[in-house]
């Protein structure tokens, strides 16, 4: 038995190694990493028999919580607050229209009932947060479009889950009560949003006031709060996925203790969960069964990419100010990923007659979407002229005060704006509280060691060692706008 356990642990380690190296390989090729992870699972399928749809669904749900939480932490509110209307429209009406169009096609192509066709449409109707965050994260695309796509992918899972579960219930026990379904939808979305905000505020307060003995416990606390948010809201029969994303966006845009540790931990954890989830999904499918539905899968993939998704986008964005090229890019960048495959396990778990057929075709659709759309994002962006103004750069440096015990000080990060009152001043001229120390200045890609005569410029990022009770005072001093600059801008 000990040898058997050691073999399993060794396989686990090898999977993580493969995941890390294939992620690097996929970035160079411009393909979503999920393609390689799934292929690894399909190769292992020849040596390891695995057909537990329930366990896959459970682990996939946990993985989605982690991925949505990490995506929310990385989402800047300043970017999405200007695009929330088109994003919400895409996440609701867009998913519904896509579901109807591709569901009607699936009814005839797969030879299934209307309800089963709509169920398939609901399963593949949403975009995937992991795929979108992963592919767009390092691409030079207009910020407006990436913000819309990321916000949509983070908020359209609840709609897809709602439609999937509702349609399965209608298939098992046919009874159509439109007012009941409408009330249920409003409850799930509304309560998910409300609880996400409330639990987000609670999580911020807990993280900033709990004062743990080790800084390494803060990332663990953050993921515990995310899982608690999902489970609590789901028990209330509301949308736990929406609540997690909203809660994560609030955390990501708040002033958090040990923020860098929390973000770094969850980024790595999300990658690990992606690797395990996609490998498991690859284990659940049998290549021979995919070949049996090849032509149906190709037909539905083409229709989804070129017909259903564009119709959903153009209908849901009919009142937006986006131009045709921008809408076409949003249509093409609606990547499919783990969410459709995990939703496809629901009919399997419920034992629907055509559950295996829908799972196999969904798998085919997702794989083709990732291969075709994921690999062509950059060329399509160039063709449609929706590229960003400059190369997307990640901050080259980050600092944080790491403590093995309790501390009354921390390092905060502040970026100086053009109209800040301290812009073009020397550090020695700043009226900072005593025992406050500017430890580093990041200017572009340079790390500058500060001294009294260092002049602060717009876009400089300051790392400041400050007492916790003086943190807000320091921020107010540095971030206060210069009234003269304001008047000049108004003129």
Percent of the chain at pLDDT > 70 equals: 87
Domains in the chain with CATH codes: 2-384 (1.20.1530.20), 409-490 (3.30.70.1450)
Q: What is the 3-state secondary structure (H, E, C) of 343-370?
A: HHHHHHHHCCCCHHHHHHHHHHHHHHHH
Confidence label for 36 from pLDDT (cuts 50, 70 and 90): confident
Q: Write out the two tokens for 319.
A: 């009142």
pLDDT at position 44 is 77
Work out the number of other CB atoms within 10 angstroms of the CB of residue 452.
Answer: 9
Residues in the chain: 491
Residues 6 or more apart in contact with residue 401 via CB below 8 angstroms = 407, 409, 410, 411, 465
CB-facing half-sphere around the CA of 476: CA atoms within 13 A: 5
Confidence label for 125 from pLDDT (cuts 50, 70 and 90): confident
Q: Write out the two tokens for 48.
A: 């390891």
> Residues 144-150: what's their mean pLDDT?
83
Distance of alpha carbon 349 from alpha carbon 368, whole angstroms: 25
Q: Does residue 27 register a pLDDT over 70?
A: no
Q: Coil, helix or strand for 139?
A: coil
Q: Which of 222-226, 419-423, 433-437: highest mean pLDDT?
A: 222-226
Poorest-pLDDT segment among 38-47, 317-326, 344-353, 367-376: 38-47
- Give 415's strand partners: 461
Residues 6 or more apart in contact with residue 358 via CB below 8 angstroms = 110, 112, 116, 119, 120, 123, 344, 347, 352
Instruction: Look at residues 227, 229, 235, 238 and name the one whose alpha carbon lies nearest to residue 202.
Output: 229
Q: The pTM is what?
A: 0.75
How far, CA to CA in Å, does 408 sit from each of 213, 401, 467, 470? Answer: 12, 11, 6, 10
Percent of the chain at pLDDT > 90 equals: 21
279 neighbors 27 (Cβ within 8 angstroms): no
pLDDT at position 205 is 93
Model confidence pLDDT, tens digit, residues 244-298: 989 998 998 887 877 888 888 888 888 888 778 778 777 877 777 778 888 898 9
150 neighbors 75 (Cβ within 8 angstroms): yes
pLDDT at position 25 is 66
Q: Coil, helix or strand for 142?
A: coil
Q: Write out the two tokens for 147.
A: 């913000």
> Residues 399-403: what's their mean pLDDT?
52
Instruction: For 417, list phi and psi in degrees, rounded to 5.
Output: -90, 170
- Give 446's strand partners: 443
pLDDT at position 485 is 42
Residues 6 or more apart in contact with residue 166 via CB below 8 angstroms = 181, 184
pLDDT at position 3 is 47
Poorest-pLDDT segment among 21-35, 96-110, 375-389: 21-35
DSSP 8-state secondary structure symbol assigned to residue 482: P
pLDDT at position 471 is 80
Burial class (CB within 10 angstroms; exposed 0-12, middle 13-18, buried 19+) of 137 = middle
pLDDT at position 398 is 55
> Residues 204-231: what's their mean pLDDT?
89
Q: Does residue 45 register a pLDDT over 70?
A: yes
| Strands of the 446-448 sheet, one edge to the other | 409-415, 461-467, 437-443, 446-448
pLDDT at position 303 is 94
Distance of alpha carbon 357 from alpha carbon 351, whole angstroms: 12
User: What does the radius of gyration of the chain's CA atoms come to, in whole angstroms?
Assistant: 24
Tell me the pLDDT of the chain averaged across its residues.
81
pLDDT at position 215 is 76
Instruction: For 61, list phi and psi in degrees, rounded to 5.
Output: -65, -45
pLDDT at position 307 is 94
Model confidence pLDDT, tens digit, residues 308-358: 999 999 999 998 888 999 999 999 988 887 778 888 888 988 888 888 899
pLDDT at position 235 is 93
Distance of alpha carbon 158 from alpha carbon 164, whole angstroms: 10
Query: Tokens 């998704």 — which residue?
Result: 309
């Amino acid at each position: 038995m000990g040898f058997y356990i050691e073999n399993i642990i060794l396989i686990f380690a090898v999977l993580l190694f493969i995941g890390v190296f294939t992620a690097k390989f996929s970035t160079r090729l411009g393909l979503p990493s999920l393609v390689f992870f799934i292929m690894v699972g399909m190769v292992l399928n020849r040596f390891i028999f695995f057909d537990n749809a329930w366990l896959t669904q459970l682990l996939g749900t946990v993985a989605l919580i982690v991925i949505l939480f990490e995506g929310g932490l990385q989402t800047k509110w300043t970017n999405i607050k200007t695009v929330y209307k088109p994003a919400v429209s895409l996440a609701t009406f867009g998913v519904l229209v896509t579901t109807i169009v591709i569901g009607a096609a699936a009814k005839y192509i797969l030879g299934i009932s209307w309800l089963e066709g709509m169920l398939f449409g609901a399963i593949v109707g949403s975009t995937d947060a992991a795929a979108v965050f992963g592919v767009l994260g390092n691409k030079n695309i207009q910020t407006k479009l990436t913000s819309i796509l990321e916000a949509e992918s983070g908020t359209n899972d609840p709609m897809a889950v709602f439609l999937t579960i509702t349609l399965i219930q209608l298939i098992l026990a046919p009874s159509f009560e439109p007012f009941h379904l409408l009330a249920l939808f409003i409850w799930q979305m509304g309560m998910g949003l409300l609880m996400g905000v409330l639990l987000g505020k609670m999580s911020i307060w807990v993280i900033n006031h709990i004062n743990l003995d080790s800084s390494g416990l803060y990332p663990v606390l953050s993921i515990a709060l995310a899982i608690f948010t999902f489970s609590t809201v789901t028990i209330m029969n509301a949308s736990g996925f929406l609540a997690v994303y909203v809660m994560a966006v609030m955390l990501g845009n708040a002033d958090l203790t040990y923020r860098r540790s929390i973000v770094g931990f969850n980024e790595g954890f999300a990658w690990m969960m992606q690797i395990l989830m996609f490998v498991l999904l690859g284990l659940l499918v049998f290549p021979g069964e995919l070949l049996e539905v090849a032509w149906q899968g190709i037909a539905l993939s083409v229709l989804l990419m070129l017909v259903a998704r564009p119709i959903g986008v153009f209908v849901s964005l009919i009142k937006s100010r986006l131009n045709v090229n921008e809408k076409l890019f949003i249509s093409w960048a609606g990547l499919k990923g783990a969410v459709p495959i995990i939703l496809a396990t629901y009919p399997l778990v419920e034992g629907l007659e055509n559950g295996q057929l829908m799972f196999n075709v969904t798998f085919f659709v997702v794989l083709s979407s990732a291969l075709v759309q994921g690999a062509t994002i950059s060329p399509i962006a160039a063709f449609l002229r929706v590229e960003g103004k400059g190369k997307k750069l990640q901050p080259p440096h980050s600092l944080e005060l790491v403590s093995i015990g309790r501390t009354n000080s921390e390092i905060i990060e502040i970026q100086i704006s053009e109209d800040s009152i301290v812009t073009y001043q020397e550090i020695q001229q700043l009226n900072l509280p005593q025992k406050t120390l500017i430890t580093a200045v990041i200017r572009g890609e340079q790390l500058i060691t500060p001294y009294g005569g260092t002049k602060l410029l717009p876009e400089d990022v300051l790392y400041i060692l400050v007492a916790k009770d003086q943190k807000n005072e320091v921020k107010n001093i540095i971030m206060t706008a210069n009234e003269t600059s304001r008047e000049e801008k108004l003129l």
